Amino acid sequence: MRHVIDAIYENGTFRPMQPNIIEISEGTHVRITVDDETEPESLKLVTCVYDGLSEEDIDEVEQIALNRSNFFGARNTN
């Protein structure tokens, strides 16, 4: 069964921020996946920029980004 538990790493030990949120018997083997919260928010956003988009949507977004001829609108050359 999968549970997500927020924890703090202190003195070589992971300490749950909300103890007793789930029942785990002493000595139970668990697997911990660490998501480092010090990662910049902008980097987190970049990793999910295409979430929920179809392949066609992704292609369209990339084509728009690559075609910069009208990206910022008409240039004022005066």
Listing DSSP states for the chain in one string gives: ------EEEETTEEEESSTTSS---TT---------TTS-HHHHHHHTTTTT--HHHHHHHHHHHH-GGGTT-S----
The pLDDT tens digits for 43-52 are: 777 778 888 9
Q: Which residue has the higher pLDDT, 60 or 44?
A: 60
pLDDT for residue 66 = 86
- The answer to whether the pTM exceeds 0.85 is no
Find the mean pLDDT for residues 51-59.
Answer: 92
For residue range 10-47, what is the model confidence (pLDDT) as tens digits? 999 988 888 788 888 889 898 888 877 676 777 777 77
pLDDT at 12: 92
